[in-house]
């Protein structure tokens, strides 16, 4: 009986909620911005926390395949550029965690969700970076796909997210150019270097296309996100746009894409591509990709090995604060 009353009570929105919902609907209809202190539907908040933290986790896990090559970069200039890039990714992670915190979920909770396997990150980072050319392919294709996904997010209805994306997109496009440059240099280099570049493009092409998520017919969250002005274009629209872009750029690189089905469809105005292996996508997403276990183990190890350092920093800060109080 008691539960029933509670359920009835919850079902009736308070006057405050009604006013909040009206304001929220008006903001969305006007295509302007929701800010942290504004009322928002619980589902909107949850969707954002899920998407933004997933993005932050992707930045953090995404550091690993590239950090893998910092110690082996083949020239000092490339080593410096790669270090700066991985550093940027840590910065993006921090920025996005902070933006997510404005929705009321602290960073350590988000981090724990990642470590417990409750939160996802982009499945592309579960593929290995076996060669130096992968630094090029990751920059050109993976960061390229990320940009195609993220540029529309600069206009996302949630203010802190949109603003974070503006800065992140600027740095990402820099990274994409650097990746392109690595591949170009390799393509114009020795036969072995060119082979290395082509091999990297062959391996990263399909996983990069899958970064846009399942096809529109198989993407349950997309509709609501579009209604809330978080998402602006469908997965397939973005993927098509990306294919159109890279099929042009690959010619400049003097390389090829491993897909003979790419064509522009005059009727739909969309770029078409070969069938993607969605079974593989779901397998990787479910944790059975080549590097899922390795990536998580490394993150867990860094977190656990750093525990005593974080505890020391907290203890020191406490002592300082106490001394300041006494004084």
Partner 1 sequence: MSGESATRITPGNAYRPEDVAAQVAEGVEVSEDVAEYALRLGDDALILAQRLGWWISRAPELEEDVALANIALDLIGHARSFLTYAGAAWGKSEDDLAYWRGENEFRSSYLVEQPNGDFGKTIARQLVFSAFQHELYSRLVDSADATLAAIAAKALKEVDYHRDHATQWTLRLGDGTEESKRRMAAGLVSVWPYVDQLFQDDDLVGRLEGVAVRPSELRAPFDAYLAGVFAEAGLELPDIPPAMTDKSRHKHSEHLGYLLAEMQVLAREHPGATW
Nearer to partner 1, 136 or 214 (CB): 136
Shortest Cβ distance from residue 314 to partner 1 (Å)? Answer: 8
Nearer to partner 1, 124 or 243 (CB): 124
Nearer to partner 1, 102 or 193 (CB): 193
Nearer to partner 1, 226 or 313 (CB): 313
Round to whole Å and give the CA distance between 235 and 83.
31
Nearer to partner 1, 33 or 295 (CB): 295
Shortest Cβ distance from residue 298 to partner 1 (Å)? Answer: 7
Q: Are 41 and 24 in contact (CB under 8 A)?
A: yes
Nearer to partner 1, 74 or 258 (CB): 74
Neighbours of 189 (CB within 10 A): 13
H-helix segments, 128-267? 133-137, 143-150, 159-187, 191-210, 222-227, 235-253
Shortest Cβ distance from residue 91 to partner 1 (Å)? Answer: 6
Token pair in block for residue 255? 């390389």
Q: What residues line the site for partner 1 (CB under 8 A)?
A: 60, 63-64, 67, 70-80, 83-84, 86-87, 90-91, 93-94, 97, 132, 182, 185-186, 189-190, 192-193, 298, 301-302, 305-316, 319
Shortest Cβ distance from residue 255 to partner 1 (Å)? Answer: 17
Q: Are 102 and 38 in contact (CB under 8 A)?
A: no
Token pair in block for residue 76? 């000092």
Round to whole Å and give the CA distance between 260 and 247.
11
Token pair in block for residue 264? 């522009």
Shortest Cβ distance from residue 123 to partner 1 (Å)? Answer: 18
List of residues 6+ apart from 7 with CB closer than 8 A: none
List of residues 6+ apart from 256 with CB closer than 8 A: 198, 201, 250
Q: Which helix (H) or strand (E) holds 264?
A: strand 263-265
Shortest Cβ distance from residue 98 to partner 1 (Å)? Answer: 11
Shortest Cβ distance from residue 55 to partner 1 (Å)? Answer: 14
Nearer to partner 1, 188 or 277 (CB): 188
Nearer to partner 1, 70 or 285 (CB): 70
Round to whole Å and give the CA distance between 85 and 176.
10
Shortest Cβ distance from residue 57 to partner 1 (Å)? Answer: 12
Q: Are 66 and 196 in contact (CB under 8 A)?
A: no
Round to whole Å and give the CA distance between 277 and 205.
12
Please state, in angstroms and as integers, the Cα–Cα distance from residue 1 to each residue in 6, 10, 231, following that order: 9, 14, 42
Longest dimension (CA), the chain: 78
């Amino acid at each position: 009986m008691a539960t029933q009353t509670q359920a009835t009570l919850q079902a009736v929105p308070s006057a405050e909620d009604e006013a909040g919902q009206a304001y929220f609907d008006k903001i969305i209809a006007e295509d302007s911005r929701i800010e942290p202190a504004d009322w928002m539907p619980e589902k909107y908040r949850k969707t954002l926390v899920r998407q933004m933290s997933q993005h932050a986790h992707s930045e953090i896990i995404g550091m690993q395949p590239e950090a893998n090559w910092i110690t082996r970069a083949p020239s000092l200039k490339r080593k410096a550029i790669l270090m700066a890039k991985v550093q940027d990714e840590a910065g993006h992670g921090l920025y996005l965690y902070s933006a997510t915190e404005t929705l009321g979920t602290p960073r350590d909770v988000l981090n724990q969700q990642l470590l417990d396997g409750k939160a996802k990150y982009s499945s592309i980072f579960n593929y290995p970076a076996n060669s130096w050319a992968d630094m090029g392919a990751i920059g050109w294709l993976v960061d390229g796909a990320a940009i195609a996904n993220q540029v529309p997010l600069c206009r996302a209805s949630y203010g802190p997210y949109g603003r974070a994306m503006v800065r992140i997109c600027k740095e990402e496009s820099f990274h994409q150019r650097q990746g392109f440059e690595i591949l170009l240099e390799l393509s114009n280099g020795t036969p072995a270097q060119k082979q290395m570049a082509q091999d990297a493009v062959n391996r990263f092409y399909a996983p990069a296309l899958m970064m846009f998520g399942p096809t529109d017919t198989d993407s349950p969250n997309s509709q609501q996100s579009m209604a809330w002005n978080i998402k602006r274009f469908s997965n397939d629209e973005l993927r098509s746009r990306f294919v159109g872009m890279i099929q042009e750029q690959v010619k400049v690189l003097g390389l090829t894409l491993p897909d003979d089905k790419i064509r522009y469809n005059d009727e739909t105005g969309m770029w078409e591509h070969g069938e993607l292996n969605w079974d593989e996508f779901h397998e990787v997403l479910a944790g059975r990709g080549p590097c899922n276990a390795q990536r998580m183990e490394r993150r867990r190890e860094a977190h656990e090995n750093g525990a005593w350092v974080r505890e020391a920093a907290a203890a020191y800060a406490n002592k300082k604060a106490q001394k300041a109080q006494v004084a």
